[in-house]
Amino acid sequence: MFFGLYVDAGPTRWLVWHGRGPLGPKRYACGAHRGELTAYLRFHYASVGGQVWKMGPYPPPRPAAGNARPAHMSRMGGSGFAV
């Protein structure tokens, strides 16, 4: 679970803000509106947490914990179920 983190998503440069709690809800912006999202977050949440001032490049999304191993096993010719 993320808290106060920017994440680069997808090949089209979407930016996802995982605010949660005092840093507001999760917000999304396409590649053309990334600057507007960061400006909005910095204006509204800069006094609450310093995470909004983080500069890119941002980390890519992490794979879900339950999906990483079975996907790898199925690529390797396994049954897809963790043993």
Residue 19 above 80 pLDDT? yes
**Predicted confidence (pLDDT) per residue in 69-82, tens digit:** 555 555 555 555 55
For the whole model, what pTM was predicted? 0.67
**Predicted confidence (pLDDT) per residue in 35-49, tens digit:** 999 999 999 988 888
Range 5-24 average pLDDT: 88
C-alpha 63/C-alpha 69 separation (Å) is 10
Beta strand spans in 5-79 (E): 5-9, 14-18, 27-29
CB 62 within 8 A of CB 10: no
